[in-house]
Structure 1
Amino acid sequence: MRVAVFSFPGWGHLRPLLPLVRELLDRGHEVSVVVAERFAAAAADTGARVLTYPSRFPAPVPEVRTAEDLAQVVVAYYEEAFAALPAAWAAFADDPPDLVVEDALSTAASGLVADRAGCPVVRAFPGFAGNDEVPLNGSEPEPGSPDLDAEHPAIAAFVRGLPDRLARLGVGEDAVARVRARPPRANLVFVPAAFQPRVECFDGSFAFVGPQPPADPPPTGWSPPADGSPVVLVSLGTSSNDNPGFFLACGEAFAGTGWRVVMTTAGHLDGATAAAMPPEVELHAWLDHHAVLPHAAVVVCQAGAGSLMDAFGHGVPVVVVPQQPDARVMARHVAALGLGRCLEGPVSGADVRDAVLAVAADAGVAAAVAALRSAIGSAGGAARAADVVERVAAATPTDGGSQSAWR
């Protein structure tokens, strides 16, 4: 079977797809991964065929405060939706896929490729799933959010220019209409059902496979404190780490507490900030968290789905400090489930320290995290995701319409 995998240009989107790619390759399938140029190396490490395209999608996603901000972000998503199409349209012209796996935010180019190939589509959600009842972020817009102006000049210009862009590739507007009207044959959700808001609103076409369960820690050279000091891992993910003041405040707040603070900063701390850190702090530009998590008592993160699933997969509670709009809903959900604490608004180092100490001592949080760890372990991960892909590919046109088997 030839599988084409389309990702969205964010590490949190690509990362959960990579174990599925490896699993499909191990089962003897041919896999092509379509990614933005900056993620080519990560995709190539799987052994799959890699198709790259230029992406201008901003990282991180800008804060939306006004209708103008919203319009510009919407146009960025629109542009990204079709950015991969020229490369993918050419690459799959003579070598069409038998099945397409698409990120939930990358459905235009992938859908058009699948439409031409006449093959089924499986949609992947790196975090919360969404459908007609539940928004993709699991919640309704916050009060005070700006309304979208569909007639905004930037949006109108994109819409006017799209038919010509498609026509140059030989894609008709009827194809776009077909793609919009056709639902995916199955949906892969890389969080367990126990973590999904309003899970009862999702039918059997949604398979909550969860993340890939933790493997043995990789050889990184990192080792836990020899004196048994408790460890807190502090990271703001790959797109929100440019916040040196936050890291310094956290480091200073833990001075003299007896805790070892392991920080991964994506290289965003300058020499002066690094030099000001107390001796309890370890600074790493990059470090595989799976080496630290088996020894961590608490994780401080910005509530990205990948970081959360890593922590909970190891049975570690969290203190979440959301840095981006899309993280706030997930952060509040973490707190609502009793898996840790959520700190919003201006947050001091002392706030973080106090929350870490409270979470580490909270038996109720420990029990909630243990239950979710068990749910992650039994969700199925990449193997179950690959099973779903294979069953979709094997279904005939008549029995493929039933969407009750994938869950």
Structure 2
Amino acid sequence: MARPTVDIVSRSLRVLAVTQPGVSHLFPMLPVLRALRRRGHEVVVASAPRFAAQIAAVGLRPASMGVDFTVGLEHTFVPALATARARRDASFEYTRIVLVEALASAAVTDLREIVDDWHPNVIVRDPAEFGSFAIAEALGIPHVTGRENRFLSTEAWAAELGDSLTRLARLTGADALEAGQLYRYLGLAPMLPSLVAATPELDNAREFGSHVGPTIRFVRPETYGRGASDGSNDSNGPRVLVTLGTVFHDQPELLRHVLAASESVPAHFTVITGPGIDPALFQPAPQDVLMTEFVPLGAVLPACAAVVTAGGLGTVLAALEHQLPMVLMPVNADQPTNAARCEGLGVGIAVPALRAGPATIAAAITWALTDARARARAVELSGEFQSLAGPDQAAQLVEAVAYTGVPVPDVAESAAR
């Protein structure tokens, strides 16, 4: 199949975005997807069927593909993952076994049908979704990662993927799939460069290593729900946001410790329990605690003075955008790395989740509310947001790749010539 041509009259594009079914995967890509649509392009977002309502709720057109699940439920169809999590086995090969062998392999048939029916000019993919990468390479469609946040070298990716791409190549008809092709054209990184650094304590490149490839472009992260309001109005003291995220958030004992800690801190608290966790399970809550299953971070953070988080990247970036010090209680995935990096930058204090009792948590929250150096450092880092390319500039990069079919460095060279 030849690469779809661009409408040379209107220069409109058909943009196929592909994401794992979780808000932490979709939301970081929303600014560029919305910018592309504002600029006159069609945008379709492919994901699991049960995620279609969430895609529609943010104003985009959904398409269904692959396994019907939401992020966080992978263990229900990959028993080995459930066993590894129960054992806290950090050696489990999640990328190869879950993302490629289970999810991408199941998605490629649906994705091929979407592509054959709709003929997209460019694919903007979640870097945790590999089926669209394989389809794009097989059919010669330019592909872009829409929320790069790991910054692995080609060698590190190859080691992590093992031989899983070989089978995916056979399923899609690609001549070959290699780690070096993952960022062939462009990788958009809605991320603060200050967060991307190896440290003596974090010298393993699994997350946030020092490698930033030549096609990676940092763009400005934007908190979802900015400009909305959660209705809180605290004229009698500071407000603290508590959220354990949307994937590893089912931590009832840890959340109860936070609630107990709140009783000894002179502040109001908004506690987001996360999807599927009924706030009623934690009633009666302390007097100054408002509990809810979900509220957009952009709606609540403007009224806050500090954040208590498990350390998911989306929450960390949102807190920094709003100049807020953090208490970080990492549970899994990239959270320990994010926590260590925030602590190293002076904008957070890390409290190991397994040892986080009420007194320890209360002391950490008090630090986040009162430490002038942490607040000054958060203000300083927030200035980094404004130095980064905005959504329209990111959209222009996607357009350049789609129109020319060549990687971003070559686009720049072509323009110079």
**The TM-score by the shorter chain falls in which range?**
0.7 to 0.9
- Answering whether residue 327 of structure 2 is matched by residue 330 of structure 1, we say no
* Matched position secondary structure for 1:384: helix
For residues 277-292 of structure 1, what are the structure 2 equivalents within 5 Å? 277-292=285-300
Q: Which residue identity does 2:72 align to in structure 1?
A: A
Give the aligned partner of residue 211 of structure 1. 221
Classify 1:278/1:95 alpha carbon distance in 2 versus 1 (closer, same or farther; 3 Å): closer
Distance 2:19 2:105 in 1: 12
* Matched position secondary structure for 1:50: strand
- Answering whether residue 248 of structure 2 is matched by residue 249 of structure 1, we say no
Distance 1:68 1:261 in 2: 33
For residues 47-66 of structure 1, what are the structure 2 equivalents within 5 Å? 47-55=59-67, 56=69, 59=72, 64=85, 65=87
Give the aligned partner of residue 87 of structure 1. 110
Give the aligned partner of residue 395 of structure 1. 404
Distance 2:356 2:89 in 1: 27
Distance 1:297 1:35 in 2: 35
Distance 1:398 1:386 in 2: 14
Q: 1:278, CA displacement in angstroms?
A: 1.7
Q: 1:97, CA displacement in angstroms?
A: 1.5
Q: 1:371, CA displacement in angstroms?
A: 1.8
Q: Which residue identity does 2:283 align to in structure 1?
A: A
- Answering whether residue 129 of structure 2 is matched by residue 106 of structure 1, we say yes
Q: Which residue identity does 1:59 align to in structure 2?
A: G
Classify 1:17/1:405 alpha carbon distance in 2 versus 1 (closer, same or farther; 3 Å): farther
* Matched position secondary structure for 1:207: strand
Count of residues paired in the alignment? 379
* Matched position secondary structure for 2:154: coil
Distance 1:149 1:195 in 2: 24
Give the aligned partner of residue 141 of structure 1. none
Give the aligned partner of residue 302 of structure 1. 310
- Answering whether residue 402 of structure 2 is matched by residue 384 of structure 1, we say no
CA RMSD, 1 decimal: 3.3
Classify 1:60/1:316 alpha carbon distance in 2 versus 1 (closer, same or farther; 3 Å): farther
* Matched position secondary structure for 1:15: helix
Classify 1:242/1:377 alpha carbon distance in 2 versus 1 (closer, same or farther; 3 Å): same
Distance 1:399 1:309 in 2: 26
Distance 1:378 1:15 in 2: 21
* Matched position secondary structure for 1:84: helix
Distance 2:137 2:95 in 1: 27
* Matched position secondary structure for 1:3: strand
For residues 159-308 of structure 1, what are the structure 2 equivalents within 5 Å? 166=171, 171-172=172-173, 175=174, 177-178=176-177, 182=181, 183-198=183-198, 201-212=211-222, 216-220=226-230, 222-227=231-236, 229-266=237-274, 268-269=277-278, 271=280, 273-275=282-284, 277-308=285-316
Give the aligned partner of residue 25 of structure 2. 13
TM-score where L is the length of structure 1: 0.82
Give the unaligned 5+ runs of structure 1: 137-146
CA contact (8 A) 1:185 1:401 kept: no
- Answering whether residue 131 of structure 2 is matched by residue 119 of structure 1, we say no
Residues 310-353 of structure 1: CA distance to partner in whole angstroms, max 9, x if unpaired? 11111111111112133111111111111111111321122111
CA contact (8 A) 1:204 1:405 kept: no
CA contact (8 A) 1:122 1:188 kept: yes
Distance 2:414 2:348 in 1: 34
Classify 1:371/1:114 alpha carbon distance in 2 versus 1 (closer, same or farther; 3 Å): same
Give the aligned partner of residue 151 of structure 2. 129
- Answering whether residue 37 of structure 2 is matched by residue 25 of structure 1, we say yes
* Matched position secondary structure for 1:189: strand
Give the aligned partner of residue 142 of structure 1. none
More divergent stretch after superposition (347-356 vs 74-83): 74-83
Distance 1:72 1:134 in 2: 14
Q: Which residue identity does 2:296 align to in structure 1?
A: D
Identity of aligned residues (%): 25
CA contact (8 A) 2:123 2:143 kept: yes
Classify 1:393/1:242 alpha carbon distance in 2 versus 1 (closer, same or farther; 3 Å): same
